[in-house]
Amino acid sequence: MPKTSRLIVGLGNPGRTYDKTRHNIGFEVVEAIAARARVPLAPWKARTVGGEGSFRARGFALAMPQTYMNLSGESVLGLVRMFGLTPAEVLVVVDDLALDPGVLRLRAGGSDGGHNGLRDIAERLGTEQFPRLRVGVGRDFPRGRQADYVLMPFTADQRPLVDEALPKAAEAALCWVTEGLGTAMNRYNGWKPTPPDALPRSATSGA
């Protein structure tokens, strides 16, 4: 197997309580990547569920920290040291309230935008300059209810949009592994799922 030279980290919270919630979209993307690249996921190093694999002759690792969101940086730092990586060689997949459900955005770095997982990773790595793949979860919540919103499952209207986005997000992450951030940004930034009302009647009704 090629040497592991990239790390993809999906953020979320462990346990059935948080399964399929908006805050756990990073876990879902990692699972989609694992399925596409045939990477077995299991309890792993640095308090994660993860594993190593390769795609188009490039070695990479997948990880889902099991430390809870606010302490995600503990696992990330442990894996960075273990594999001898730089922050630029770590892609963090994270939910984004500022984007509509399923919309994708890649960035080379930047502020945490109020996201506690990103904040902890930046503090542990000592820099905000690490790539991130943001997946939109929308912001349809009353003022002051952000924490409740991200810890709830997607609505029946949102879930199909997210399901359409998952394989595309996996493609974007694997493009980053094999072709670099610039190509991945050019190819996938701004991608958004097809709204249900834009689909042909046969695609929505089964007729």
At 40-97, the pLDDT tens digits run 999 999 999 999 999 999 999 999 999 999 999 999 999 999 999 999 999 999 999 9
pLDDT for 128 beyond 70: yes
Handedness of CA 167, 168, 169, 172 (dihedral sign): positive
Catalytic residues: 23
State the pTM of this model: 0.93
Identify the H or E element spanning 51.
Answer: strand 48-55
The domains found in the chain, sorted by start residue, are: 4-205 (3.40.50.1470)
The pLDDT score that the predictor gives to residue 43 is 97
CA–CA separation, 4 and 83 (whole Å): 7
Length of the chain: 207
- Beta strands 48-55; 58-65: pairing state: antiparallel
Confidence of residue 173 (pLDDT cuts 50, 70, 90): very high
pLDDT for 150 beyond 80: yes
For 27, residues 6+ apart whose C-beta sits below 8 A from its C-beta are: 10, 11, 12, 64
